[in-house]
Structure 1
Amino acid sequence: MSFTGFSTEDFAVFTINGLDERMEKLKQHVRPKLEDLGSHFAPTLSSLTGDEMFAHVAKHARRTKNPPADTWVAFAANPRGYKMLPHFQIGLWETHLFIWFALIYEAPDKEAYGEKLSGNIDVISKSIPGDFVWSTDHTKPDAIRHKDLSKDELFSMFERLQTVKKAEILCGLHIPRDETIALEPSELINKIDTVFRKLLPLYKMA
């Protein structure tokens, strides 16, 4: 595998002003690494989930003015797209690397999934590692650590998924920029693999 890990330069891409300038550096530095991760993890996730998983590297094609603040590769059981489906992601903001299981606002059966999560709240509460994080908006970099959430707060996130049209749920791990840069490529691969395995029950519920 040709993945070389992430560098200071990769994260610095998000400080470049101007859509064209940032996109050029994204394509040059970050996208090839996301493609490497995509081709590495698609077979792994296919084998773990039992569904054939396809890698989708973000193209940011619809942007005309604002440069992207983050970028990613997503994995879903459809060669044409991932946004409508439960999926996994690996990506970067300027401050950190994220590894997610996600169900975002385009997904049609969020209500049923919210019910499933609510019904399994005890299991989820116990099985998700404390340093993992939850988010209800994939367009924002911040998230809440699992160990800082009460069961009631978790429950209200799951309930929101059932009642709010634009609701989303994401669970995974954030690795700070400096820690990500310090990791050897093989260490980062192993870390991502471990996170995906921990998130697998959430995918299976979906």
Structure 2
Amino acid sequence: MAFSGFTNEDFNVFTIEGLDERMEALKQHIRPKLEDLGKQFTPELSSLTGDEMFYHVAKHARRTKNPPKDTWVAYAANPRGYKMMPHFQIGLWETHVFIWFALIYEAPNKEEFGKVLERNVEKLLVETPKEFVWSTDHTKPDVVEHNGLSKTELQKMFNRLQTVKKAEILCGYNIPRETAVQMSPQEFVDKVDYVFKTLIPLYKLS
């Protein structure tokens, strides 16, 4: 297995001042690991989804001033890009690793998906593992824990997806930095594997 696991050095990249300096460290330390995870999970996600999947490592190419606060590899059924599509992600903020199924604001079928989610709200409330989390904005690290979410709160998120232009929906799992750096590469891969398999029904609904 090529993936070597995440270290404190990887997370510390997000404390480096300056766009060029941080990008250089990101390319050196984190990007090769995201490439490895990209190669590792593309065949499995293709098999699980029934769609040919392609991985895309974030390039942060449009940035001219602010250094990136997070970075990721995304998987989608399109060789050219993932933002318009339902997709999966593995990535890092300074504080944690995230593993997501995501439909973000560029996706054209958001409204339809919001309706489908709303129709399945009971099922999703019961079947989503309680340690999973939700987000309505991929640019912020804040999440809502599934454990303790009411049907009404979940419904509100699904409704927002249908009515708000910039709305997004992400569901998945966070691994705190302290835990991630102690995991062996195999433990990490096994956890991602479990999360992706659990998220497949959401992908199928999309």
Give the share of equivalent positions with the same residue, in percent: 69
Q: Distance in 2 between matches of 1:176 and 1:144?
A: 15
Secondary structure of 1:148 counterpart:
coil
Match in the other structure for 1:122: 122
CA-to-aligned-CA distance 1:126-160 (integer Å, 9 cap, x gap) = 11100100000000001010012111000000000
- When normalised by structure 1's length, the TM-score is 0.99
Counterpart CA distance in 2 for 1:148 and 1:69 is 29
Q: Which residue of the partner structure matches residue 48 of structure 2?
A: 48
Aligned length: 206
| Equivalent residue number for residue 30 of structure 2 | 30
Q: Structure 2: 5+ residue runs without aligned partners?
A: none
Distance in 2 separating the partners of 1:40 and 1:71: 18
The residue aligned with 1:109 is: 109
Distance (Å, rounded) in 1 between the aligned partners of 2:14 and 2:149: 30
Map Cα deviations across residues 32-82 of structure 1 (whole Å, 9 max, x no partner): 000000000000000000000000000000000000000000000000000
2:143 matches 1:154 = no
Alignment match, 1:140: 140
Please name the residue that 1:8 is paired with: 8
Give the letter aligned to residue 116 of structure 1.
V
2:40 is equivalent to residue 18 of structure 1: no
Aligned partners of 1:147, 1:100: CA distance in 2, in Å? 17
Quote the Cα distance in structure 2 between the aligned partners of 1:178 and 1:185.
15
TM-score normalised by L of structure 2: 0.99
Counterpart amino acid of residue 49 in structure 1:
T
Measure the CA separation in 2 of the matches of 1:147 and 1:118. 18
RMSD: 0.4
Q: Distance in 2 between matches of 1:11 and 1:127?
A: 32
Distance 1:142 1:181 in 2: 21
Q: Distance in 2 between matches of 1:56 and 1:127?
A: 29
Structure 2 counterpart of 1:198 = 198
